[in-house]
Chain A
């Protein structure tokens, strides 16, 4: 038992050390980074953060942009996926097998290969540089997982419930609104969290769709910072950027870990 605990500590160190190192770096002065073992008087600073927040546009802007994309994608995906998942849950078993296979391969597909075609669509429709438009490809990319998760949880509901509702006189819309959607709320919650995290983190499509600086999402903004001066030292401001970019996700993971775990495992198991 004691061994188990030691190993667990090892895992935690492996998982968290790189993140702590970023946090440490972000509070260091350049001198402290260059001479980590020397005894310097001005070791700690908040300057990295003030620099980041006072730049134009402020780094908070990117956080806001990612939040907008995350929320609108989650909303759009659920709007389309819930009715579709309901109808998938009613398909005959043989066809359902093929639908699931299609959804699973779409979920497995390394979507980065799609970016060129999606870029063409964005150009043709003139919807580049629009955060809300970005949620269209995002919700398509999340659709397979959302459909797999939601349709399997629709299917898990006892059929009696829906029939009792039918006998009570609820039509399709009322059954969905009053009975079925409330009952799959747990699955909806985990799906939403997964969609949000995906959209917050997505990189290649945001990179090609968004070119205006004030509309960049966080991952793209970070990579721009990284690309701006590759070998420049010190690193304090970058580290501050990574810390700021990590905090929202840190909170999400800690608050919603149950939903995340159930979403990921169900997604894999049911698929």
Chain B
């Protein structure tokens, strides 16, 4: 009967996580906007037809995917390097770890604002450095082809510590004698990394990548504050688009459709990603060693 103890928490979880999914599914087959006077009226799947033909949605989807995949892969590589470094015996390791963790702990909006100033033209430091080196200023935030890179930089800066921490935890579970045994077998340090470290880190990498992929896919704070989705919509994410539909255009039916669709597409992306990591051993062995 102790299961009664979990009812309040379970109730809250159902209200906040499951109820919205049903509500969105239901709203997505109804019209509910300023045009209908916010009444909820069935519209025979018109939202879904609109979604399939909505170029802005699919552009946003690809942009979101571009953002998520590039930031997570950069983060993963950086994080592995940082974790390997921190795994060495270093003096004042705790302090170093705390300081590298700092970007993760700061509110996204705070540093999104900070990055906007760093990339500012003509007064930001990046611009100043370019000027100092007598290079052509690049004006990254207002170039539709480059602006997304600035958002990736912001995201990499903020969330690399999180992945690094998880990978570091993974590294610390690998006993030293494995490496010693490998060395006695005549293995080189580089081989040890690919033959021992990476395979044993796989569960940690999987969880970190899946988690980060899901979060990056829902990117909202960073983009809303840093670029507002601009310039020319070149950094707009699906979450931001759905937000604009609900809060600016007051079209709740279509906003819900976008959310359900992005949820399905995200699950699809996660399954693909999990599949890649799961089969990475075979892919890996084909390509190396």
Closest Cβ of chain B to A190, distance in Å, is 12
Name the A residues within 8 Å of B111 (CB-CB).
18-19, 242
Q: Is B61 an interface residue (CB 8 A)?
A: no
- List B1-48 residues whose CB lies under 8 Å from chain A: 2-10, 12-13, 15-17, 19-20, 23-24
Which of A46-54, A126-134, A181-189, A219-227 lines the interface with chain B?
A219-227
In the complex, the answer to whether A80 meets B9 with C-beta atoms within 8 Å is yes
In the complex, the answer to whether A140 meets B166 with C-beta atoms within 8 Å is no
In the complex, the answer to whether A86 meets B109 with C-beta atoms within 8 Å is no
In the complex, the answer to whether B8 meets A222 with C-beta atoms within 8 Å is no
Name the B residues within 8 Å of A241 (CB-CB).
110, 113
In the complex, the answer to whether B218 meets A112 with C-beta atoms within 8 Å is yes
In the complex, the answer to whether B88 meets A84 with C-beta atoms within 8 Å is no
Q: Nearest chain-B residue to A204 (Cβ)?
A: B220
- List A221-262 residues whose CB lies under 8 Å from chain B: 222-223, 225-227, 230, 233-235, 238-239, 241-242, 245-246, 249-250, 252-254, 257-258, 260-261
Per-residue CB contact flags for chain B residues 99-112 toward chain A (1 = under 8 Å, else 0) read 11111011111111
Q: Is A69 an interface residue (CB 8 A)?
A: no
> Given that A7-B85, A106-B17, A219-B221 are contacting pairs, would A245 and B110 also be in contact in the complex, using a CB cutoff of 8 Å?
yes
In the complex, the answer to whether A261 meets B97 with C-beta atoms within 8 Å is yes
Separation of A21 and B119 alpha carbons in the complex (Å): 12
> Given that A139-B12, A204-B221 are contacting pairs, would A226 and B246 also be in contact in the complex, using a CB cutoff of 8 Å?
no
Closest Cβ of chain B to A70, distance in Å, is 11
Name the B residues within 8 Å of A174 (CB-CB).
none
Q: Nearest chain-A residue to B246 (Cβ)?
A: A116
Q: Is B235 an interface residue (CB 8 A)?
A: no
> Given that A18-B157, A80-B12, A81-B9 are contacting pairs, would A265 and B97 also be in contact in the complex, using a CB cutoff of 8 Å?
no
Closest Cβ of chain A to B268, distance in Å, is 14
Q: Is B57 an interface residue (CB 8 A)?
A: no
In the complex, the answer to whether A253 meets B221 with C-beta atoms within 8 Å is no
Q: Is B215 an interface residue (CB 8 A)?
A: yes
Closest Cβ of chain B to A119, distance in Å, is 8
Name the A residues within 8 Å of B208 (CB-CB).
268
> Given that A5-B90, A203-B107 are contacting pairs, would A15 and B165 also be in contact in the complex, using a CB cutoff of 8 Å?
no
Q: Nearest chain-A residue to B116 (Cβ)?
A: A226
Name the A residues within 8 Å of B70 (CB-CB).
none
In the complex, the answer to whether A253 meets B110 with C-beta atoms within 8 Å is no
In the complex, the answer to whether A11 meets B82 with C-beta atoms within 8 Å is yes
Q: Is A215 an interface residue (CB 8 A)?
A: no
Separation of A230 and B113 alpha carbons in the complex (Å): 10
In the complex, the answer to whether A268 meets B204 with C-beta atoms within 8 Å is yes
Q: Is B256 an interface residue (CB 8 A)?
A: yes
Per-residue CB contact flags for chain A residues 70-100 toward chain B (1 = under 8 Å, else 0) read 0000000000110110111011000000000
Per-residue CB contact flags for chain B residues 197-221 toward chain A (1 = under 8 Å, else 0) read 0000000100110110011011011
In the complex, the answer to whether B6 meets A83 with C-beta atoms within 8 Å is yes
Q: Nearest chain-A residue to B270 (Cβ)?
A: A108
In the complex, the answer to whether B128 meets A136 with C-beta atoms within 8 Å is no
Closest Cβ of chain A to B129, distance in Å, is 10
> Given that A18-B157, A34-B123 are contacting pairs, would A239 and B210 also be in contact in the complex, using a CB cutoff of 8 Å?
no
Separation of A265 and B173 alpha carbons in the complex (Å): 12
In the complex, the answer to whether A253 meets B101 with C-beta atoms within 8 Å is yes
Name the B residues within 8 Å of A195 (CB-CB).
none
Q: Is B144 an interface residue (CB 8 A)?
A: no
5 nearest A-B pairs in the assembled complex, by CB-CB distance:
A110-B218, A117-B20, A140-B16, A84-B9, A265-B169
21 pairs of residues in contact across A and B, judged by CB atoms under 8 Å: A4-B88, A12-B99, A18-B114, A19-B102, A36-B123, A83-B8, A84-B6, A87-B3, A87-B6, A107-B211, A108-B215, A116-B246, A140-B15, A204-B221, A223-B112, A225-B113, A239-B114, A242-B114, A254-B98, A261-B101, A261-B165
Binding site for A on B (CB under 8 A): 2-10, 12-13, 15-17, 19-20, 23-24, 81-82, 85-86, 88, 90, 94, 96-103, 105-118, 120, 123, 125, 128, 132, 157, 161-162, 165-166, 168-170, 204, 207-208, 210-211, 214-215, 217-218, 220-221, 224-225, 228, 239, 242-243, 246-247, 252, 255-256, 259, 262-263, 266, 270
A-B contacts besides A18-B103, A201-B108, A203-B108, 12 pairs, CB < 8 Å? A21-B125, A25-B117, A87-B2, A108-B211, A110-B215, A113-B242, A222-B109, A239-B117, A246-B107, A253-B105, A268-B169, A271-B207
